[in-house]
């Protein structure tokens, strides 16, 4: 594989080219292209129904696009959801997606089990964590929970977790595999302003936290959050990219203002 693309740039950690998705008669994504360079935080914003989650689902392998290509580090790839971690990719979902029968600590450790190629099903079935790998995963999970300030909830089951704590558990589960690309769908959804401040700090630390450079693709409704943490922003409306650029460029883009005034802010 070439080490640079035709523009002479290093291959992006993630690159999408001309992605198209339809649901029956609805065009959810129409020729969407974007790059997530290594070490960059790239935000995807847009009004309700713009296609953000659809795009996220394409990258996670939940949806097969009708058109377009996806590359990871310059190589065409579209890993199935259960193989993402092997490609250094982890995600949190728009909801929480925690395993209801596992404690907070076990949920986080389960994220490592996949990356260590230990049988993930052991975690799902609640089988004893007897192996060295699983012990290491539990130790790493406990350290992450402590780092996030939620160590006291390690033994709690998801229904007992306050919502902001559960969101942090979901993020810790994605981070424990030390991914080089992390995908976040609406991490601020349902959080109050204090928790969003916490999240802002956390997201800012993501690119340099862990063993090397990490890229982030952040799908988010909260315009203020996305503007404050992203290096680059792509704005979708009705499935099309209507603007792409730095936060300052996006803030002053008339098409973006029109999309938002015609959409959620008028509601």
Contacting positions for ligand ATP (CB under 6 A): 23, 26, 28, 46, 48-54, 221
Query: Which residues lie below 8 Å from residue 120, measured CB to CB, with a gap of 6+?
Result: 82, 110, 113, 114
Q: Is 83 left (phi over 0), alpha (psi -120 to 50) or beta?
A: alpha
Nearer to ligand ATP, 54 or 134 (CB): 54
Asked if residue 207 lies in contact with residue 39, where contact means CB atoms within 8 angstroms, the answer is yes
Q: How far is the CB of 93 from ligand ATP (least distance, A)?
A: 11
Q: How far is the CB of 70 from ligand ATP (least distance, A)?
A: 16
Strands 26-36 and 14-23, by their bridges, are antiparallel
Q: How far is the CB of 260 from ligand ATP (least distance, A)?
A: 12
Q: How far is the CB of 238 from Mg ion (least distance, A)?
A: 14
Binding track over 51-70 against Mg ion, x by CB under 5 A: -xx-----------------
Nearer to ligand ATP, 48 or 201 (CB): 48
Q: How far is the CB of 195 from ligand ATP (least distance, A)?
A: 19
Strands 232-237 and 26-36, by their bridges, are unpaired
Nearer to ligand ATP, 23 or 128 (CB): 23
Nearer to Mg ion, 52 or 114 (CB): 52
Selection from ligand ATP, Mg ion, none that 125 binds (CB < 5 to 8 A by kind) is none
Distances (CA, A) of 72 to 5, 43, 251: 13, 18, 29
Selection from ligand ATP, Mg ion, none that 145 binds (CB < 5 to 8 A by kind) is none
Element containing residue 136 per DSSP (H, E) = helix 132-147
Element containing residue 138 per DSSP (H, E) = helix 132-147
């Amino acid at each position: 594989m070439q080490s640079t693309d035709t523009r002479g740039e290093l291959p992006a950690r993630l690159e999408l080219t001309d992605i198209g998705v339809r649901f029956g008669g609805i065009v959810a994504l129409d020729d969407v292209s974007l790059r997530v360079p290594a070490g960059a935080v790239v935000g995807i914003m847009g009004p309700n129904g713009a296609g953000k989650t659809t795009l996220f689902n394409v990258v996670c392998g939940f949806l097969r696009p009708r058109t377009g290509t996806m590359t990871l580090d310059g190589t065409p790839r579209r890993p199935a959801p259960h193989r993402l971690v092997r490609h250094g990719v982890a995600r949190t979902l728009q909801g929480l997606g925690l395993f209801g029968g596992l404690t907070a600590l076990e949920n986080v450790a389960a994220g490592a089990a996949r990356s260590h190629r230990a049988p993930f099903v052991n975690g799902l079935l609640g089988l004893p964590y007897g192996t060295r790998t699983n012990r290491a995963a539990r130790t790493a999970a406990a350290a992450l929970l402590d780092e996030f300030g939620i160590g006291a909830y390690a033994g709690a089951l998801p229904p007992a977790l306050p919502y902001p704590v559960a969101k942090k558990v979901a993020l810790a589960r994605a981070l424990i595999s030390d991914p080089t690309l992390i995908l976040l769908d609406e991490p601020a959804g349902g959080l109050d302003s204090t928790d969003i401040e916490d999240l802002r700090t956390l997201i800012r630390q993501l690119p340099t936290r862990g063993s090397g450079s990490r890229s982030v693709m952040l799908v988010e409704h909260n315009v203020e959050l996305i503007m404050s943490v992203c290096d680059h922003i792509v704005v979708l409306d009705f499935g099309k990219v209507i603007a792409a650029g730095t936060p300052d460029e996006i803030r002053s883009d008339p098409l973006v203002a029109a999309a938002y005034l015609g959409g959620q802010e008028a509601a």
